[in-house]
């Protein structure tokens, strides 16, 4: 085999190396574009799921209002379970969104979500916050009374007790509506949703004790 002095057989041609580098760069760009497209598609899926969950949650809130109005306490737990299921589905989806956002925007992408979560306050209501139901000990006894006087006092006490029970029921129902509505509105921040739905469970127990 004859070779030219100073030349190396099968030496790499500089132009070929540049072409290979260009091809590799184009492949990397193409791969990055495909990855970004899949990421944005995933965010779109998360957005659609969140919209659907909030729409379904809104329907559940309207149904809850009707149940509270009719004082149908036995039907409310199933509705709260429905909201729990929606919240769990959204939480899984939002976890996927967090991963995708980090891929697209970096590790600091979810810092703003922490601020949003902190902004959700959970209103509380306990038995001690409700008006106290008056008893016979709250009725002033003038001393010597006729049977008619005693009957009138008993009637007045019963009427007052009825009014207070209605007020307690209204306050508990309003609170339950408030926390469940906020829970649905907070579906995009699962930590807040969990806390609000937990309060909704307690609020239901308090309301149910008022209507039973």
Helix H or strand E encompassing 172? helix 147-185
pLDDT for 20: 62
Q: Which two tokens stand for residue 152?
A: 């009138």
pLDDT of residue 19: 58
d(CA 171, CA 126): 11
pLDDT confidence of residue 169:
97
Cα separation, 51 vs 66, whole angstroms: 23
How much is the pLDDT for 58?
96
Residues of the chain with pLDDT under 70: 1-23, 107-119, 141-144
pLDDT score of 23:
66
Q: What is the pLDDT of residue 22?
A: 66
| Confidence at residue 1, expressed as pLDDT on a 0 to 100 scale | 45
Single pTM value for the model? 0.78
The pLDDT score that the predictor gives to residue 3 is: 47
pLDDT at 26: 72
pLDDT at 34: 81
**DSSP calls for 74-113:** GGHHHHHHHHHHHHHHHHHHHHHHHHHHHHHH-GGGGHHH
């Amino acid at each position: 085999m004859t070779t030219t002095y100073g030349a190396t057989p099968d030496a790499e041609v500089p132009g070929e190396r540049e072409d290979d580098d260009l091809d590799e760069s184009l492949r990397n760009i193409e791969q990055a574009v495909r990855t970004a497209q899949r990421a944005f598609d995933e965010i779109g899926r998360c957005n659609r799921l969140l919209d659907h969950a909030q729409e379904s949650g809104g329907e559940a809130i309207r149904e809850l209002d009707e149940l509270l109005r009719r004082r149908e306490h036995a039907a409310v737990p199933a509705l709260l379970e429905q909201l729990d299921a929606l919240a769990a589905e959204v939480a899984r989806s939002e976890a996927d969104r967090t991963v995708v956002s980090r891929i697209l925007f970096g590790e600091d992408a979810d810092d703003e979500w922490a601020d949003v979560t902190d902004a959700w306050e959970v209103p509380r209501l306990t038995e001690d916050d409700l008006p106290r139901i008056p008893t016979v000990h709250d009725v002033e006894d003038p001393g010597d009374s006729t049977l008619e006087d005693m009957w009138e006092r008993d009637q007045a006490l019963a009427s007052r007790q009825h009014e207070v029970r209605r007020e307690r029921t209204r306050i508990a129902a309003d609170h339950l509506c408030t926390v469940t509505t906020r829970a649905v509105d907070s579906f995009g921040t699962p930590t807040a949703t969990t806390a609000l739905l937990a309060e909704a469970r307690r609020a239901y127990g308090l309301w149910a004790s008022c209507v039973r």
